[in-house]
Structure 1
Amino acid sequence: MNRRRRGISALTLICAMAVASAPGAAFAAPAPEPGPSKSLEEVRKEIEALYHQAGTATEAYNLAEEQAQRQSDQIVTIAKQVVATQQRIADLKNRAGAAARAQYRTGGLPPSAQLALSGSPQQFLDGADRLRQGEKATMGMLGELNTHQADLQKYAAEASAHWQTLEANRKAKETAKKEIEAKIAAAKALEDRLVAEEKARLLQLEKDDAYKKQAKWLKSGILKEINGKASPAGKAAIEFATKQIGKPYVWGAEGPDGFDCSGLTSQAWLAAGKHIPRTSQEQLRLLPKVAIKDMRPGDLIIYFDDATHVAMYVGDGAMIHAPRPGRHVTIAGAGSMPIKAVVRPDA
């Protein structure tokens, strides 16, 4: 962990030196040209907004996917209950049929009439006891049969409700998928209009913006207060996340070849033995929150007001995340985006 922290610190220092030493003209957005044309900085912000909207739709897609899977599992469970109940009803009907066949063999006389025709008092008493037992068993069998019939009706209603929810989630997924693809296509179209030199400058502007936000965050002195140590599970989660560095961002992906932001964090903690919610919004809603000053490596940082991005804190003011389409899993400054909250999977 110490080597990783030193590596992160060195990386932070190298980035800072690169920004400080590069020519100022390379970082400045060109002045807006006359007419409707946009500056490179305006293009960068527009692309950033499109990818943020794609990220919002991705989280909606992931949530619908998770809920659809849960509904599908519940439908399978109900189907198994239906089969077991049908088998029990068939067994009860077979027993009722056997009783009817036995009565037929006695000439159709009801048990009470057969009892009255018995030849001795003792036989009468023994028969009366058996009659009471038989009547009790019959009533129990009929009661059980009615209960199972009612269960079948309940299961049918539950299956119908789960199926409707499943269909609603499938439609939500399709809607989110179309929005994701449209936003990503729009962002790529903007980038494709740029020549190679402009693309390089656009990337530098993106790095500059992240660096300025990180520097402002560090300048607040927050890092002096953050001194928590990773738990054993947190170390395992960080180890998994660092092994994914360099893999591409793929929306809706949970590995092994690509990840989206919450796919990376959920799989990292799953590798550490902890199942956490799939989406950043659910991670925020369901996991215990901690103050930023109490943050420790392995904790998850939720970004933006709508909680549509998540990263894993790794110490020394750095985090690992899957940024957006067109980028790869990487280390970045923990304060390079607006922090909404910090949550701890193994609190």
Structure 2
Amino acid sequence: MSARLLRAVCAAALATALAVSPATAEPATAEPAEPTPVPSLEIDEDAAEVDAETALAAPEAPTAPKNVATLLRELQKRYQEAEEASETYNATAEKLKQRTAQAKKVEAELTKARAALELSRGDAGRLAREQYQGRTEFSAYLQLLLARDPLRALDQSHVIERVAAGRAATVERLTAAARRADALAAASLKAVDQQKKLAARQKKQRDTVRGKLKQVETLLATLSPEQMAQLAGLEQQGVEAAQNELVASGALSSVRPPTRQGGDAITYAIEQIGKPYVWGAEGPGSFDCSGLTSQAWAAAGRPIPRTSQEQWKQLPRVPISSLRPGDLVIYFPKATHVALYIGDGLVVQAPRPGTKVKVSPLASNPLLGAVRPDPDGVPLSTYTRPDLPENARDGSDTGYSAEAAPE
């Protein structure tokens, strides 16, 4: 199968959400919102059990399934593994960025501490020379004891006490500077060691992502055009059913305006429509799913966690029935995908490799829940959403390509 046909296959075959039943348990680090029934497709949940970093230890050679339903489950499983590996990679990349900044800060402090230590050593050297030459407070006291004028001797004794205190302070500064320099040197070595470990982990996770995507491509290459057409139809039916069920439940019946910052985040996200998905990208020319949502809210003046899993873990949760534009919608049992809600049952998302930033139905992927970056924000009295580009909904919500794996 040619590369062009493969990309077409990816876009056609995976045109909808990769449905896995939502997880019922939520992390203990945050209070869950009031549960809201949301639709999901009934499929195999084994995808959620695969470890992102070890699943490639003994990969099975993919074979063509006997029927479309089995094929769909297999593709969804492969996607779940790749998506989880991707978010793990993103989390490590973020930690590496933080450790690198920390290492630079420690190195700068160490440079200053060494300069202060050299200055203190200079003062200590002068003190040693004075002691050697007999110009210490002890020799001065001997002179005072032999002085003929006691009052003058008393006045000079106060001066000598101040001199002695100053010299004691010099010794203390030298000792403190040496201790600080030693501590910072140890911290610098530790920071460099952490950088090396994180870089090695990141490389391993990058290779995991590449391998997962290659498995998907290999599986797709075994399919006939008839299987592809059946697969696309089955997935489309599933997404339409999930979206219709969500709308019929009344969960999206309320119309709410965003806050000022929420509106700014929506404007930013809409302006990115049409830009390609790239693993780990945070703009301006390309994005991954959480790169888009984190940058949208950063542009609105409210920084949020970088990855979808940390967004789900750290931000306040809201019921789907209470969604307002600007909220983040989290997908899949392990919170491995995220999109920005823009109202009317729609989200802006960077789906996955092989696709571009686009507008999709809210239920295009299996829902886990929603979070609100600005719980303290005041909704606008009136709001008009920016016009969507004509091609805002063009392209599939799915697509895979090993070429889009991280460098």
- The bucket for the TM-score relative to the shorter chain is 0.7 to 0.9
More helix, by proportion: 1
The residue type equivalent to 2:193 in the other structure is Q
> In structure 1, what is the equivalent of residue 171 of structure 2?
142
Deviation of 1:166 (Å):
2.4
Structure of greater relative contact order (alpha carbons < 8 Å, 6+ residues apart) = 2
Q: Percent identity?
A: 35
Structure with greater Cα Rg = 1
Corresponding position of 1:208: 237
1:66 and 2:94 are equivalent in the alignment: yes
The answer for unaligned runs of 5 or more in structure 2 is: 1-14, 16-62, 376-407
Partner amino acid for 1:152? A
Q: 2:106 aligns with which of 46, 65, 78?
A: 78
Deviation digits for residues 79-134 of structure 1, max 9, x if unmatched?
11111111112112212222333444557883333443445334422332222111
Q: How many angstroms apart in 2 are the aligned matches of 1:103 and 1:142?
A: 13
1:128 aligns with 157
Distance 2:69 2:352 in 1: 18
Residue by residue, what CA displacement relative to the aligned partner does 1:29-51 show, whole Å, maximum 9, x if unpaired? xxxxxx97522343233222212
Instruction: Please report how far the alpha carbon of residue 314 of structure 1 lies from its aligned counterpart in structure 2 after TM superposition.
Output: 0.7
C-alpha distance in 2 between matches for 1:37 and 1:280: 32
Decide which of 364, 367, 371 is 1:343's aligned counterpart. 371
Moved more, 115-124 or 318-327: 115-124
Cα separation, partners in 2 of 1:130 and 1:56, compared to 1, 3 Å: same
2:221 is matched with which residue? 192
Between stretches 322-331 and 204-213, larger displacement belongs to: 204-213
Q: Which residue matches 1:116? A: 145
Aligned partner of 1:300: which letter? Answer: L
Q: Which moved more, 1:70-79 or 1:112-121?
A: 112-121
Partner in structure 1 of residue 258 of structure 2: 230
For residue 71 of structure 1, report the CA deviation from its aligned partner: 1.0
Q: Number of residue pairs matched?
A: 313
1:92 to 110, 120, 138: 120
Amino acid at match of 1:170: A
* Structure 2: distance between partners of 1:114 and 1:82: 44
Alpha-carbon separation, structure 1, partners of 2:321 and 2:73: 30
* Letter of the structure 1 residue corresponding to residue 248 of structure 2: K
Greater mean deviation of Cα atoms: 316-325 or 36-45: 36-45
Partners of 2:147 and 2:111 lie apart in 1 by 44
Tell me which residue corresponds to 1:277: 305
Q: Distance in 2 between matches of 1:107 and 1:335?
A: 85
SS of 1:188's partner is helix
Match of 2:310, SS? helix
Question: Which residue does 2:180 correspond to in 1?
Answer: 151
TM-score with structure 2 setting the length: 0.71
Q: Closer, same or farther in 2 for the Cα pair 1:37/1:223, shift >3 Å? A: closer
1:220 partnered with 2:249: yes
What are the ranges of 5 or more consecutive residues in structure 1 without an aligned counterpart? 1-14, 16-34
Q: What TM-score comes out, normalization by structure 1 length?
A: 0.83
User: Which residue identity does 2:163 align to in structure 1?
Assistant: G
Q: Distance in 2 between matches of 1:293 and 1:178?
A: 40
- Contact between 1:75 and 1:163, CA under 8 Å: does it hold in 2? yes
**Paired residue type of 1:172:** R
1: distance between equivalents of 2:130 and 2:352? 75
- Which amino acid in the other structure matches residue 272 of structure 1? A
Is residue 252–residue 320 contact of structure 2 (8 Å, CA) maintained in 1?
no
